[in-house]
Amino acid sequence: MQVKAIHLGFIIAMAVAASGHAETPLPDDGFVDVPGGRIAFRTFGEGDGTPLLVIHGGPGGTSCMYPSTLQGIAEDRPVITYDQLGSGNSDRMTNMEDQAVVPRFVDEVEAIRNELGLDEIHLAGHSWGGAVAIEYLLSAEPEGVQSVTFIGPLIGTDRWLKDANTLVSELSTSDQAAIETAIKSGDYSTPAFQTANDHFMAEFLSRGPQARNELPECANSPGGNSALYEYMWGPSEFVSTGTLQVFDRTDDLSQISVPTLFIAGEYDEARPATMKEFQKQVDGSVVKIIPDAGHLVNVDQTKAFNKAVSEFLSSVDKQ
């Protein structure tokens, strides 16, 4: 969910129509009108499989890391990524009180599908994108969604924070003390808290040899929106003070009726044990835990992540 150093970048590739057959190519990039402005999208991949629409994390993150880290998936199908309103190459919000609300983010998904003619899709939501994905499935009652992949998802804030606090307890005593002091005072700007936060991110956000901000597409592209992240979530991954404090869809997982994959890293902020609990609530769902990976599992272990997701999507396509 962290927004810092997540930027938008695109690669040029051709995509196929929503039917999954190479009849009418999709545009490889452009803008889609949504409530509040325009959002930037990108497609890559030329396979005949049903397209995959990816919802990035945040809030206030961008899609920059996906073109280079989902190439294995793109061998079989078009992949569509986009920047939510407020960050990356998309328009900025003019009024967060009106626009930084979950239903409006859900509307973006439908707008992209309508604009690109994506009658049939696989859906994937990463972190906060998982919250948007489940809201879309349960609130919009969409047709044509063949499956959903939850990548280290936010399904409920209370559960997320419970897991995050477990991980905080694994930090040094000095880091834990700095976090406790910041929470009591409400001052998250101290050097001690920032150091503790950095240590948390290094352990549980991304553990790979190449940091997300070193990806070429991210290093040279527009950034995310930390103000949006703080407004909706809060000052850090393990402290929520924003509008998402009350978000909770954990009791509604059983309503999902499409094939479902929960995938996370071994050291993910979205804990493997939680993914297995979620699995029990969704009939026929699958869990994949990728070793030696954090929350940005697609960055930390790109090949293993691509293999797991590709196998799941291909199995659904064959049904």
Catalytic sites, residue numbers: 127, 268, 295
Task: Give the dihedral of Cα atoms 169, 175, 177, 182; nearest 10 deg.
Answer: -110
**What is residue 252's DSSP assignment?**
G
Three-state DSSP class for residue 226: helix
Nearest to 64 by CA among 226, 217, 222, 220: 217
Burial of 274 (0-12, 13-18, 19+ CB in 10 A): buried
Helices (H), the chain: 66-69, 71-74, 96-99, 102-116, 128-135, 157-168, 173-185, 191-204, 216-219, 226-232, 272-281, 297-300, 302-317
Determine the Cα–Cα distance for residues 277 and 77; give it in Å rounded to an integer.
30
